[in-house]
Amino acid sequence: MIKNYLKIAWRNLVRSKVYSSINIVGLSLGLAACMLIVLYIGHEYSYDKFHENADNIYLGETEITFGKDPIYMPYMGYSKGPESKQEIPSIEDYLRYKKNFENVTIQNPESPELKFSEDNFLFADSNFFDFFTFPLVQGNNGHVLKAPFSVVISQNIAERYFGGQNPIGKTFLYNDQYIFTVTGIAQNAPSNSSIDFDFVASISSMASMEEYKESLNNDYSDFTTYFSLDKSADPALVEGAILNIDSQKTGGEGDVNKKYLLRPLTSLHFGRDFANSRYIKIFPLVAILILLLALVNYASLSTARSTTRSKEVGVRKVLGAHRKAIALQFFFESALYTVISFVLGYFLCLTAQPFFFGLLDIQMDNSFLYAPQMLVSLVVLLILTILLAATYPAILLSAYRPMVVLHGKLSAQNSGASIRKFFTVFQFGISIILIICAIVIDRQMYFFRHVDTGVDRENIVMLPFSAAAGKHVEPFKQEIQTIPEVLQSSIAILPLYKGHNMMGVKSNTDDEMIFLPTLTVDENFISMLNLKWETPPIDSLLLNGRKTVAIINKMAIEKLNLEGNPINQKINGQYEINGVLKDFVYTSLHHKINALCLLVSKGGDESSPWAEYGGVVYAKIAPKSNIPSILQQMKAVYEKYDAEKPFEYHFLNETFDAQYKAEDRLTMIFSAFTGLAILIAVMGLFGLATFIALQRRKEIGIRKVLGASVKSVTALLSIDFLKLVIVAIIIASPVAYWSMTQWLQNFAYRISISWWMFVIAAIGTLLIALFTISFQSIKTATANPVKSLRTE
């Protein structure tokens, strides 16, 4: 029986090539888009769940509150882990690791040319590979990190530094000072891991490294600490118990401004700074809408063609076929279409997957594509699609009454017309919503790129340098400025738009402590970036013999509660305010401009901040210069002063733009999905227009014989569809407006949604629909009426 159903379904598929192609291609495109989004969502929600004890592992955070400003630090002191395990029975184990904030230089001593700047170097407890499920390719979990100056490397690092050689027992040179011995090789961290590493060194090494000795005794240092809790433990009680340990240390006087938080390992990926959080919730909705469009497309054409199958149903029922058997036949026919579409969609998904995840900046492991949970998700998607695509046509077609269809009265019932009108409105309504959303997103991104941030970012290159180069930063800066195309140079402690320091400051009106963002810069920084003065300094030299002065922005006056003229007032009784700048954007435009203090410092001796921490040389390049040549000259100067850190550079405007990668990706992908939705809707409209034109060919033939023009016939066939598109525009516009209003709330600085965005979307949709309908309408209107009337 089933074989017979499938055979009939295949014959119908081959016989109606146009409708079959539209159904299959439209459904396969919708399924491919849905599969890509299912993979993406599945990947994001699978983060860190591969660890054997993932549900019981928590990250320890420290929250410190100054006034009304809470600061969350995902770190604890070095001693906090062992102390907590000893005092709190519900803590089964702990794991500490420290990752440098700055890149470290790694070199293979046997091949000096293999020297790279690395950013994934961790110092970790010896139980790292027992605590987490990161399999070792070589080495024993419990022994690889026992000895000081031992290191486990990833497979990628083994290939980069040693090629085909066995790295075990080989050595690395760390920052040109310390020698580490390779004791193990770990599999590369999977793409759905929030903990990434290339090197994991023994934490016991830090006791013999001068730069880390102090951090081992500092309770406010920066060790990432994880706790494995008993399954019955209450994390909130453990948080309180950890804080109680501090109280016991200080004789019962705990810090009321500090507390500890435990965050589940499996929730870390969706943390406070998750870059993709602004569209992780949008994509499932887009997937559902595109799949619905494809299914509606299929259902619309199926119901439209139902009149051509009505006599078949009538004859079968007269010969004794039950409705259940007929419904089953049409169900299998739709299921065949769906399975073919699913297979085609799967291959489209595999083809588009590298491009799609490249846009999202996700390096997804191929193994994840074939993971059991993903295969189960795809099987569920197939079953759901078959049920949705096949049920309605099967019920509709099997419901025809033999007496009605065999007497030719079905057309009088206008079978399925209302449903088809609803489907058309739905399809184009979704398309219009997506078009308007794409326009708003694009305009918001344009606004980000072109808004006046108060900073001249053009042609400024930033050159990070180490503390060693900081001891000679003045001659280094001067040599950079002697390059002919360099107009001006400056120094800062950090690259702009890549972070800032924080200083605890007492308010002038009370003793409340507040956090004040700070940037340490030299005296050329303000003029080079063309920052504007609200209240200029009394003397143009700023420093005037002093080592450090403070320049604040306008927002800082309010935050510090400064009264009257802020010039010559002091911050913390230490830094004298020498001028006030107009507010300028120094972080992302997602947030309102905050208070800022520029600590203007001079000098390149060993007591300067650059000599202690390193910093960044800023160089403004003349327009239309030969950038590659200038960078080569800068590299030659840089290597004279900094042998520790490999040369790297960043352009200021590119660093600013990099803050909006999430929105850039959303723009590109949303535009692609919008185009796909329009294509699916157009395919459905084309199929529907073709069928309606075929149904009315005799009517059109009579009209032409009676003198109707091609123009009037084309208008006759087009007007009904255009009315439906206009209804879709009216319904979709307020929905799109509400959706984009909600999305724009994510940004402190945003555009206004304008009327012209809706006009462009409406006109564009009408033109697309008109072109699609007119193609078939004109073809039908110009056909010879004799061919359509000779059978009467």
Q: Give the alpha-carbon dihedral of 763, 769, 774, 779, to 10 degrees.
A: 160
Tens of pLDDT, residue by residue over 81-98, are 898 999 899 999 999 999
Instruction: Examine the pLDDT at 380 and tell me if it is beyond 70.
Output: yes
Burial category of 670 from C-beta neighbours within 10 Å (exposed 0-12, middle 13-18, buried 19 and up) = buried
- Rounded to the nearest 10 degrees, the angle between the axes of helix 2-15 and helix 323-359 is 60
Strand 224-229, strand 199-202: pairing: unpaired
Burial category of 469 from C-beta neighbours within 10 Å (exposed 0-12, middle 13-18, buried 19 and up) = buried
Do residues 491 and 522 lie in contact, with contact meaning Cβ atoms separated by under 8 Å? yes
Q: Which of 102, 100, 98, 200 is nearest to 468 (CA)?
A: 102
Q: Which of 767, 763, 732, 739 is nearest to 753 (CA)?
A: 739
Do residues 598 and 525 lie in contact, with contact meaning Cβ atoms separated by under 8 Å? yes
In terms of average pLDDT, the best of 104-118, 149-163, 355-369 is 149-163
Q: Give the model's pLDDT for residue 203.
A: 92
Do residues 586 and 500 lie in contact, with contact meaning Cβ atoms separated by under 8 Å? yes
Instruction: Examine the pLDDT at 78 and tell me if it is beyond 70.
Output: yes
Q: Is the dihedral of CA 417, 423, 428, 433 positive or negative?
A: positive
Tens of pLDDT, residue by residue over 446-466, are 888 788 888 999 999 999 988
Q: Give the model's pLDDT for residue 151.
A: 94
Query: If pLDDT is split at 50, 70 and 90, which confidence band does 686 have?
Result: confident
Tens of pLDDT, residue by residue over 510-529, are 667 778 889 999 888 998 99
Q: Calculate the average pLDDT of the chain.
A: 81
Tens of pLDDT, residue by residue over 296-352, are 877 777 666 655 555 565 555 555 566 676 667 777 777 888 888 899 989 998 888
**HSE toward the beta carbon, residue 84, CA cutoff 13 A:** 31
Query: If pLDDT is split at 50, 70 and 90, which confidence band does 413 have?
Result: very low
Tell me how far apart the alpha carbons of residues 19 and 683 are, in angstroms, rounded to a whole number: 10
Q: Give the model's pLDDT for residue 248.
A: 76
Do residues 496 and 527 lie in contact, with contact meaning Cβ atoms separated by under 8 Å? no
User: What would the mean pLDDT of 140-163 be, rounded to a whole number?
Assistant: 91
Provide the token pair at 462: 């930033």
Tell me how far apart the alpha carbons of residues 788 and 370 are, in angstroms, rounded to a whole number: 54
Tell me how far apart the alpha carbons of residues 497 and 653 are, in angstroms, rounded to a whole number: 10
Tens of pLDDT, residue by residue over 592-617, are 888 999 988 876 655 677 777 788 99
- Which comes out higher in pLDDT, residue 250 or 114? 114
In terms of average pLDDT, the best of 355-364, 386-395, 498-507, 749-758 is 749-758
Any idea where the domains of the chain sit in the sequence? Answer: 2-44+283-448+661-789, 68-256, 467-644
Tell me how far apart the alpha carbons of residues 295 and 287 are, in angstroms, rounded to a whole number: 12
Instruction: Examine the pLDDT at 265 and tell me if it is beyond 80.
Output: yes
Tell me how far apart the alpha carbons of residues 681 and 685 are, in angstroms, rounded to a whole number: 6
Tell me how far apart the alpha carbons of residues 513 and 597 are, in angstroms, rounded to a whole number: 16
Longest dimension (CA), the chain: 108
Q: Which of 503, 581, 499, 588 is nearest to 536 (CA)?
A: 581
User: What would the mean pLDDT of 125-150 be, rounded to a whole number?
Assistant: 92
User: What would the mean pLDDT of 10-39 be, rounded to a whole number?
Assistant: 78
Do residues 453 and 592 lie in contact, with contact meaning Cβ atoms separated by under 8 Å? no
- Which comes out higher in pLDDT, residue 311 or 676? 676
Query: If pLDDT is split at 50, 70 and 90, which confidence band does 2 have?
Result: low
Q: Which of 761, 379, 458 is nearest to 624 (CA)?
A: 458
User: What would the mean pLDDT of 465-482 be, rounded to a whole number?
Assistant: 86
DSSP result, 639-659: HHH-SSS----EEHHHHHHHT
Q: Could you tell me which residues come within 8 angstroms of residue 375 by beta carbon, excluding any fewer than 6 positions away?
A: none
Q: Give the model's pLDDT for residue 412.
A: 38
User: What would the mean pLDDT of 183-193 be, rounded to a whole number?
Assistant: 90
